[in-house]
Amino acid sequence: MQERAVKTREAILQAAAELIDKYGFSEASVSKIIKRAGVTPGALYFHFESKEALAHAVMIGQGDGLEVPPGEDGLQRLIDQTLYLAGELQTNPKLRAGVRLAIEQGDFGLQDASPYNYWIDEFAGQLQVAQAKGEVLPDVDVRELAWTLVASYSGTQLLSHISTRRTDLYRRVTNLWKYLLPAVADPAVRPLLTFSRQWDQAA
């Protein structure tokens, strides 16, 4: 029964993510989610007390199931991660819905920075390693840099979504690094960094 409950909860989250990604929170009705998930109303409300609670679960779970690029921690791996996320934002409805809800969370009564803090923590971890290896300049505050990178990335993906449905997101993220790296990376390291298109789903 426990395994069945886990599968039911995941089916509800997936259905909600797909509908929210496509229609937004307001238009993704509970009845549509129930129908898409193939569950009963009782099953949905057993796992989530309200539509708002379900949306919050989708939002904070946006990183679940992602398989970030392997490799040695540091600046190159961070670049690879941001390019991988660009590809996932083109194809992954769960991530897209979570990102959309993080932006639109005021529509369902939330003010929760935890989705952004999750990525700040992830990026800061790679930057700390990079700085210890001499890849990032010693006077850089890596926590502030991680915050700035997440904020810049969020705006970049949003404008890319509005402009081209994210078809140009890989190029936009590459350009973000192009202008950011000269300010934070050791000059000897910059020529060694690559922007592999293997993370670009539209390549």
82-103 pLDDT, tens digit per residue, is 999 999 999 999 999 999 999 8
- Residue 115 in contact with residue 62, Cβ under 8 Å? yes
Q: Are the C-beta atoms of 190 and 182 separated by less than 8 Å?
A: yes
User: Which tens digit of pLDDT belongs to each residue from 145-167?
Assistant: 999 999 999 999 999 999 999 99
Predicted TM-score (pTM) above 0.85: yes
Q: What are phi and psi of 193, to 5 degrees?
A: -80, 140
The pLDDT value recorded for residue 197 is 60
Query: Which residues are paired to 136 by β-bridges?
Result: 185
